[in-house]
Structure 1
């Protein structure tokens, strides 16, 4: 029914990650809007030059926002995986997850942004609600 979880490899270990409504709720609670949060984890900004052309510039993401995204998405991925495997989830600490990071912050931020963005993509154009209406 659902697509397989993406994973992130940190210090030689694979962690399932998931950005879903529960993670978005945490983002809104801490960062007020998902738009502000997204701007904090992106590694680029778009500006308009003097000729009106859009120009993309690199930028350093906000470390706290990237760390929060990593922790929340790893925890959610673990809960979903544990549920599907009918076991208790490992209860990670924030420090445990963040201390396992062995990749550059730009790489990590891009991976977090990709997972964040996935939760806004339309995955199934034909929803079950639409299917039910068609059958009626």
Structure 2
């Protein structure tokens, strides 16, 4: 009689461990896929933050002027801060120097003058539109 001491193959124990690992991976994968399909509010939050920055800068400015797609703010130190669209970006420059990016992936940026301030209209590349009225208190 021949005795085999080294048998290769699967046992019930190793099969149960493999099935347990596969079940855990499938459960995790389903949870990750659900998380990927949830809406993100990155664009909305960044545009609201942009509006808050503009409001704060207008409050701190000595004066302002607006064009169709540009905002000029007169700062306390006599410099002029310009906020305008540059390609798909909205940037801020001081005395036409520098390149501080406020927003990305912007399709259009328009500024309309009002009696006591101005209105900003932004359209993103995704097609979302945002408007904000900025009030100026001299």
**How high is the TM-score relative to the length of structure 2?**
0.22
**How high is the TM-score relative to the length of structure 1?**
0.23
Q: Quick check: which has more Rg, 1 or 2?
A: 2
Higher strand share: 2
Higher helix share: 1
Bigger RCO of structures 1 and 2 (CA < 8 A, at least 6 apart) = 1
